[in-house]
Structure 1
Amino acid sequence: MGLLIKAEFRKILTTKMWWAMMIPALLLAFGWAWGVAALTNSIVSDVSDVDIIEEFNISFDDLSWSVIALTRSMNIATIFPMIFGTLALASEISRKTITTSFLTAPNRGLLLSAKAVTYVIWGLLFGVVIAIGASIGTAVGSESSYLPDAGQWLMILLSGILGCLLWTLLGLGLGALMGSPVGALVILLIYSLLVGPLGDIVLTAVTEGSYLAGFLPNGSANGLTGSTASQVLATQVIDLITNAGGVVDTDGREQFEQVVRAIAGAPGALALWLSGLIFLGWTALFFVFGILRNRTRDIT
């Protein structure tokens, strides 16, 4: 197994694919975080100047608004590890280069397991790079008073890294299942950038704020970071209202969290752990079927 994993790494590192995907992922995460953080600063500043806000002496400086920038930037940048994973087996199957690997490995199961381990590591690497880009962009574009504390920041980054890992494996599974890199990429890109986000918004609106969108791949994936960000802001807002003598019931907290999740790009998302389990289930579904398909695929 160790030699097969080493061979997979060598195969990846001798091509331009890994850095051709990783550099844009870093830049996109940085640029998106910077832009969203700056926009959020502007909006919050304008709202703070509203007369009724000043009258009630509500301070927005105690809220970590920049978690929205962290969340949105990590979510959008996951398209690169997703593409990277999609091409893992699909390109080899399409070009017939997988034939040599299957014939020289002890058995197909061992080779496919080695590929899985390899792309788990690469998914984590992409996640760390994206987390670094998103963190720098958020820090540069946001006012220091809007930044979350270290624990909150780390929780969002960890949930985003997990999302990158799972998108990598989901892409690998779909590419392995279809055997066509173009077909798999078209399906995933259209879904993740268009159908998924619009579908989540429509489902949440039509079902009057239900969590149906959170059970779909895109909704559950975005819910990893979106739910974390909404929980951070909801807790801070409730503390702010409570300290001012107000009361927030369970329904009020839930409605506020739904609003923040929508702003963070995860409308209708469930709690962090539920989103993680659901997206893990979708990933396992495509991954397992993709691997099983290649245990008997004709390689001639």
Structure 2
Amino acid sequence: MGSLIKAEFRKITSTRLWWALLIPTVALATLTALGWAAFTSDTFDALTGERAFLGLQVQMEQVSWSAIAVTRSINLTTIFPMIFGALAISAELNHRTITTSFLTGSSRGAVLSAKAIAYAVWGAVFGVAIVASSCLGAAISSDPRFMPEFGQLALIALAGIGATVLWTLLGLGVGALIGSSVGALVVLLVYALVVGPVGELILFAQTDGSHLPGLLPNGSASGFTGATAASALVSQVKSAVLNAGGSLPSIGSTRLDEIEEAIRWAAGTPGALSLGLSALVFAGWTLLFFGTGVLRNRNRDIT
């Protein structure tokens, strides 16, 4: 297995695909965070003088609103590691270069497992680059009062890296299942950029704000990071209420749920589940597509 993993790393580093995708990944993450951080800073700065948030006597600067910019940037930019994973097997199947690997490896399962390990590591590399670029972009254009604290950023970063690894493996699984680079890219991009986000918004509206969108691949992936940011921001709102002399029981659980849902809307994850559940659901989708792709290639004709 060790030699197969080394071979996969050699394949990746001997091509230009990894850095050809990493460059626009960093650029898009930085620019997206720049734009969203500037927007959130301007929006919530305009409300600071009113000393109120949803009638709760919460000062705007007491909440790290730029966390929304970081999560928005991460969720959008994961399309690049998804593409990277989608081309892992599909490109080799198209060019028949995977034939040698299947014939010389101990088994097809071992070859595909080695690919999964190698691309999981590279997914983490993309994740670190995405998180770092998103934080940098947010820090540049955000009002310093609205930047998350280190602990909050660390949680969002871990969630972002985890989501990026899973997107990479999900892309790998879809590419292995379809067996065509073009077909895999079309299916994944159309779903991730159009069908998923739009369909989940419609489903959320039609089901009166249920958590059904959070059970879908895109919704659970976005909820992975979005729920982390929403939870942190809601905790800050609660602390701000207490600091202002208010009490949480007087607000009511329904009101707090509405606040959290509003924050999730801002983070682009309406209907998302909690962090743990979102991670489990998205991991389940990843395992489903990757497992199906492995089974499809156990008997695929490679001649």
- Structure-2 residue corresponding to 1:253: 256
Deviations 1:217-274 (A, max 9, x none): 0000000111011111111112222333333222111111111111111110000000
CA contact (8 A) 2:67 2:147 kept: yes
What does 1:1-300 align with in structure 2 at a 5 Å threshold? 1-50=1-50, 58-246=58-246, 247-300=250-303
| Partner SS state of residue 245, structure 1 | coil
Distance, in Å, in 2 between the alignment partners of 1:191 and 1:113 is 26
Q: Structure 1 residues 257-266 or 235-244, which shifts more?
A: 235-244
TM-score, length basis structure 2: 0.95
Unaligned 5+ runs, structure 2: none
Identity %: 52
Computed over aligned residues only, the root mean square deviation of the Cα atoms, in angstroms, reads 1.6
Matched length: 299
Distance 1:245 1:12, change over 3 A: same
TM-score, length basis structure 1: 0.96
Q: Structure 1 residues 213-222 or 197-206, which shifts more?
A: 197-206
Distance, in Å, in 1 between the alignment partners of 2:193 and 2:210 is 22
| Partner SS state of residue 270, structure 1 | coil
CA contact (8 A) 2:51 2:59 kept: no
Distance, in Å, in 1 between the alignment partners of 2:32 and 2:23 is 14
Distance, in Å, in 2 between the alignment partners of 1:4 and 1:20 is 24
AA of the residue aligned to 2:147:
L
| Partner SS state of residue 140, structure 1 | helix
Q: Structure 1 residues 234-243 or 255-264, which shifts more?
A: 234-243
Per-residue deviation, 1:149: 1.1
Q: Structure 1 residues 107-116 or 220-229, which shifts more?
A: 107-116
AA of the residue aligned to 1:273:
G
Unaligned 5+ runs, structure 1: none
Distance, in Å, in 1 between the alignment partners of 2:221 and 2:175 is 19
Distance, in Å, in 2 between the alignment partners of 1:168 and 1:31 is 22
Per-residue deviation, 1:58: 4.3
